[in-house]
Amino acid sequence: MADSIKQTYIRMVFPAWKWNMWPKQPIRDQRAAQGLCRQCGKVKPSPGFTWCETCRSKNIRTKVWRQANREAAIKHYGGICNCCGKTDTRFLTIDHIDGGGRKHRKELGNPGGNHFFSILKKQGYPEGYQVLCWDCNCAKHMYGECPHQTDKK
């Protein structure tokens, strides 16, 4: 990504007020200034990166692990959108059937994201959840029911 595009993108995603709230990372900046890995500060980063090989592979492993948790949960709950039948796991997510998703996620200790999937796994995939694609999930929360279902009536 060209630097100017990147800057514009960052400004879009993190407007000034958010940017000011962003935790400052003087230690990491110091590490980078010394030409060391921003993450561990022990070794030189890989060429073209700010993190060293070890930190990068650790980060990738975490991502893969999170991805695996997500896919395992989706597979467990059927692996297919309960509304429109979409099967591409990249577009699927878990929905709390009675609509208390947000509240329940809060109770689980995280308002959203990957932690949720690992907790589902720990709890042995409790009942009351279903697989929905992002479209149907968003539509359900917006209209109280996915238009796919309304159309069927």
Q: Please give the residue ranges that form the binding site for Zn ion (CB under 5 A).
A: 37, 39-40, 52, 55, 81, 83-84, 86, 133, 136, 146, 148
Minimum distance of Zn ion from residue 132's CB (angstroms): 6
Closest to Zn ion by CB, 32 vs 84, is 84
Q: What is the dihedral of CA 47, 52, 53, 56, to 10 degrees?
A: -110
Minimum distance of Zn ion from residue 27's CB (angstroms): 13
**11, two tokens:** 């400004």
Closest to Zn ion by CB, 120 vs 133, is 133
| CA 29 – CA 36 distance, rounded (Å) | 10
Closest to Zn ion by CB, 48 vs 124, is 48
| CA 84 – CA 11 distance, rounded (Å) | 36
24 φ, ψ (degrees, to nearest 5): -75, 145
| CA 61 – CA 15 distance, rounded (Å) | 31
Place of tokens 């407007």: 15
Closest to Zn ion by CB, 74 vs 83, is 83
Minimum distance of Zn ion from residue 71's CB (angstroms): 17
Minimum distance of Zn ion from residue 134's CB (angstroms): 8
Contact 66/130 with Cβ under 8 angstroms?
no
